[in-house]
Amino acid sequence: MIEAVLNLKVRNNWIADVSKEYPARIRILDCIPFAKEGRRALLEIYNVNDLNKFTTEILKNLIT
């Protein structure tokens, strides 16, 4: 099996934006195409002190 680690800079990256404000660990487990230009991802999120604020911040980044 071949394994690779990719470090990418992505525009409009909600994970990077949210990670600046919250010390959570976000791990992408899987990502699949969705609709014409979208993606759906399965995530693991660790070390979140206030889950309500954290999810609100994620939603703000996804909507704008």
Query: Rounded mean pLDDT of 28-54?
Result: 86
Separation between Cα atoms, residue 50 and residue 13, nearest integer Å? 21
Separation between Cα atoms, residue 43 and residue 49, nearest integer Å? 17
pLDDT at 20: 82
Query: Rounded mean pLDDT of 27-32?
Result: 90
Higher pLDDT, 27 or 7: 27
Give the start-to-end residue ranges of the domains of the chain. Answer: 14-63
CA 24 to chain centre: 11
pLDDT at 10: 65
- Per the confidence metrics, is the pTM higher than 0.85? no
Res. 30 pLDDT band, cuts 50 70 90: very high
